[in-house]
Structure 1
Amino acid sequence: MHSSFAKRCAILEGLRERARIATAEFYQKPSVMPPPLAPLIIVRPIGNNTFSLINRTTGVIVAERFGHNDATSHARALEAKAAQFSIRQFGQLLRNWRLSIGAILAVLVFFGSHL
């Protein structure tokens, strides 16, 4: 890579980072509401009144529906289902509680044995 091009890339990356930091600081102000999160499911027309529902993070086609109303209602239902508290999240919560209680008990046993 040419040195002037590398310098320009480094300068632009520094400016992007400063812009990210300034944006984060702006949304930390108490009177400013952050913008809504982007939707998880994107509805795209295929043709002949057929729409594909695409997962935005992976780019995988989740489903295909006929009619715009049916496609958007199914996308809303999928997003609501994704927002629910899953079994995996429940297991992680229990694991974290178990680890924190175990650490507290270990500290109490350690200090109790030295008294």
Structure 2
Amino acid sequence: MHISFAKRCAILEGLRQRTRQATAEFYQKPGVQPPPLAPLIIVRPSGNNTFSLINRATGMVIAERFGHNNATAHARELEAKEAPFNVKQFGRFLSSWTLRFGITLTVFAFFGTHL
């Protein structure tokens, strides 16, 4: 690569990093809400009032529906099912398993002392 192109690429990469950093700092301010994420499923017409539901990440067709309202309703249902696993859900999962493990140990300890 030519020296001038390499310099230009290095400068642009530095500007991109600074832009990402400034954006992250902006959304950390109180009262500033980040923009909503892009939809996971795209509804695309495929002809004769038929719509394809396409997974955005893989580009594969998930389902086909007749009518735009049916297709968008089904896409909303699928996106609701694919909710991300967040910290609150992880806490509930961990506490339930901790409780189950504690009960199991208590039962073993109880029966172990009576034998």
Q: TM-score, normalised by structure 2?
A: 0.69
Q: Match of 2:57, SS?
A: coil
1:43 aligns with 2:43: yes
Point out where structure 2 has 5 or more consecutive residues left out of the alignment: 99-115
* Counterparts in 2 of 1:84 and 1:30: CA distance versus 1, 3 Å: closer
Mapping of 1:1-115 within 5 angstroms? 1-83=1-83, 94=94
Distance 1:68 1:7 in 2: 50
CA–CA distance in structure 1, aligned partners of residues 41 and 71 of structure 2: 10
Match of 1:113 in 2: none
Identity in percent: 80
Residue 55 of structure 1: how far off its partner (Å): 1.0
Q: Secondary structure at the match of 2:39?
A: coil
Moved over 4 A (4+): none
Letter of the 2:79 partner, please give it: E
Q: How many residues align?
A: 91
Q: Deviations over 1:49-98 (max 9, x none)?
A: 1211111112121111111001000000101111176xxx87xx54xx87
Q: Which amino acid aligns with 1:62?
A: I
Structure 1 CA distance, aligned partners of 2:3 and 2:48? 52
Query: Secondary structure of the equivalent of 2:82?
Result: helix
- Aligned residue identity for 2:47: G
Match of 2:30, SS state, is: coil
The 1:17–1:84 alpha-carbon spacing in structure 2 relative to 1, beyond 3 Å, is closer
One-letter identity of the residue aligned with 1:38: A
Is the partner of 2:58 in helix, strand or coil? coil
Structure 1 letter corresponding to 2:34: P
